[in-house]
Structure 1
Amino acid sequence: MKLTKRALLLGTLGLASYLLFLAITFPASQAYTLFGDRLPVQAYGLSGSIWSGQAAVATIEGQRLEAVQWKLRPSHLLTGRLASDVQARLPNGSVSGYVNVSGNSLRARDLRLDMPVDQLLNMADVTLPARIGGRFDISMRSLRIENERLTEADGMLTWHQATLNLGRPLQMGSLNLRLEPGEDGMINGTLISQGGPIDLSGDLRIRPDGDFDLEMTVRALEGAEDAIGPAMGLLGIPADGTPVRSRLSGNLDGTNIQLTEL
């Protein structure tokens, strides 16, 4: 009897190990053939397995990704979450990091994103009352989005060659925004500028509902009038370096954007 129970146990463990091996090594291309029509992604040129594989091209809600690589973490499936290390090339940039998804919740760690600002806003379906240019270089230790709202952010966002056009182009150099968690679900940020014709600094507060306030101080540096004189005049920035304080408020979805003088 003892031998029978031992044999049954070993047989069960062996079968479980074999099934696990099949799951881990199951080809990604075959899995996509079976279940691809149920996924919100179209993938082409698949290789590797469903747990660790690559796609030459993938499209998600019309956005094209190339050289997509993933490595799933099976243990998270026990808690009903899909977790993976991912990296991919964008049409004019790249993205990489650890992503954890469940329902309407998305969490990310060690996230790196580099792409043109206008393309990122287009992907996020955000419309602003001004044309902007430059590139975003985002490096986040942690990020959380719940029900399409930003609820946690800890990291650095750099806007290289930042340009704001309200009829006249205002070139601002590089803008660095340090984000970190605050109290009561708030996200706090500190803004500084580097290398531009104006000195810009500010404090940002983002509430859980997505509403934000950015209190800024801007002043012209030496030579600014020659570089961006028309834009300075339009925005009321004195050429003599007198500081101007203002507040930018609205919602992260791009609605109710207002700029008021303090």
Structure 2
Amino acid sequence: MSLFSKIVIGVIIYLVFLLVYLPANWLVSIAPLPNNVAISGAEGSLWQGQASLVTIDQRQIEQVSWQLSPWGLLVGKADIDFKIGNRATPVSGKGSISWSFSGLRANNIRFDLPDSFLLAGARLPFKTQIDGDVSLMVEILEQGKPWCEQLSGKLFLNNTNVKNQYGVYPLGNISLGLSCLDGQLKIATDETQNVLGLTGSAILGESNLVKVSAKIKPTDAQPKDLREALSFLGRQDSQGYYPINYQGVVPGL
């Protein structure tokens, strides 16, 4: 083996070890993070590391850890397994994400977080206050246009309570199915997945356009303020349902 070949092999080995042992705290210090994102307490390496705290605007995420597979990079993919928090932290989650030139793919994603994390002090219309928790479970997600190529999952709204200037609405638990319809994000529920007598779907399309097609009927389990407000939705149909239809851009989305 020639001296030149030995030098080349030595340089390659050095670069490999350099990449393997790149410290996470150094990478965070040079990363071009957005102004509203801050990472503290980074330890480990690019391939396996953790951060004690990630702050996004007013939202804080504790105990974030990751594993990045170096073998995926050889074929132009970034395969990452991540874990966030635990049962004692406000926000917890885990799953696998793969990014390539064809887009994003996610598998076995689970997030549990309070409504206060999502709202982060946002001022809602009609002095609305929302309490409760959200659980998101995604079996598979493939990025597409405008949003997805494939999606299968569930969204659970747990112990949801809404209060505004018109009344108090303890909505309880609501289960929503997540799917992909012609590239659009579809969220659906029916009367077996909530106590509100609510059936229908909402579809998020291009340019953040939302189309809601649903109906609701009075039930004994509904909050009193909600049941009394149903008549403002319009006329009941022959089965006792009031219509809920909307098409437009959701403010702030």
TM range (shorter): 0.7 to 0.9
Mind listing any 5+ residue stretches in structure 2 that lack a counterpart? Answer: none
Amino acid at match of 2:47: W
Does 2:63 align with 1:64? no
From the superposition, tell whether residues 20 and 193 of structure 1 become closer, same or farther in structure 2 (CA, over 3 Å): farther
Of 50, 57, 70, which residue of structure 2 is paired with 1:54? 50
1:36-55 paired onto structure 2 within 5 Å? 36=31, 38-40=32-34, 41-55=37-51
Q: Aligned letter for 2:161? A: T
Equivalent of residue 112 in structure 2, options 111, 114, 137: 114
2:228 aligns with one of 229, 233, 255: 233
Q: CA deviation at 1:53?
A: 0.6
Runs of 4+ in 1 over 6 A off after TM superposition: 78-81
Total equivalences in the alignment: 239
**Residues 131 and 30 of structure 1: is their aligned pair in 2 closer, same or farther, counting only changes over 3 Å?**
closer
Unaligned runs of 5+ in 1: 256-262
After TM superposition, the structure 1 = structure 2 runs for residues 187-198 of structure 1, keeping only pairs within 5 Å, are 187-193=185-191, 197-198=195-196
Indicate which of 80, 85, 88 corresponds to 1:84: 80
CA spacing shift, 1:50–1:190, aligned 2, 3 Å: same
Matches within 5 A, 1:1-262: 3-4=1-2, 8-9=4-5, 11-33=7-29, 35-36=30-31, 38-40=32-34, 41-74=37-70, 84-89=80-85, 92-99=90-97, 108-122=106-120, 127=124, 130-140=128-138, 141-142=140-141, 144=143, 150-151=147-148, 153-166=151-164, 167-183=166-182, 185-193=183-191, 197-221=195-219, 223-224=220-221, 228-236=223-231, 242-252=240-250, 254=252
For 2:125 and 2:213, the matched residues in 1 are separated by: 18
Q: CA RMSD in A?
A: 3.6
The offset of 1:170, in angstroms, is 2.1
What TM-score do you get using the length of structure 2 for normalisation? 0.75
Alignment partners' CA distance in 1, 2:4 and 2:112: 54
Q: Structure 1 residues 39, 195: closer, same or farther in 2, change over 3 A?
A: closer
Aligned-partner Cα distance in 1 for 2:206–2:125: 21
Distance 1:48 1:243, change over 3 A: same
The percent identity for this pair of structures is: 23
Residue 93 of structure 1, CA deviation: 2.0
Letter in 2 for 1:19: L
- Report the TM-score when normalising by structure 1: 0.72
Is contact 2:24-2:43 (8 Å) kept? yes
1:86–1:96 CA contact under 8 A, matched in 2: yes
Q: Deviations over 1:172-215 (max 9, x none)?
A: 322111121112x2233321355865321112222122212222
Structure 1 counterpart SS, 2:224:
helix
* TM-aligned CA distance change 1:114 to 1:250, over 3 Å: farther
Q: Match of 1:60, as an amino acid?
A: I
Q: How many angstroms does 1:54 deviate by?
A: 1.1
**1:49-107, Cα deviation, whole Å (9 max, x unpaired):** 1221111222234432211101223456578776532222396221323345689x765
Give the direction of change, closer, same or farther, for the CA distance of 1:32–1:207 in structure 2 (3 Å limit): closer
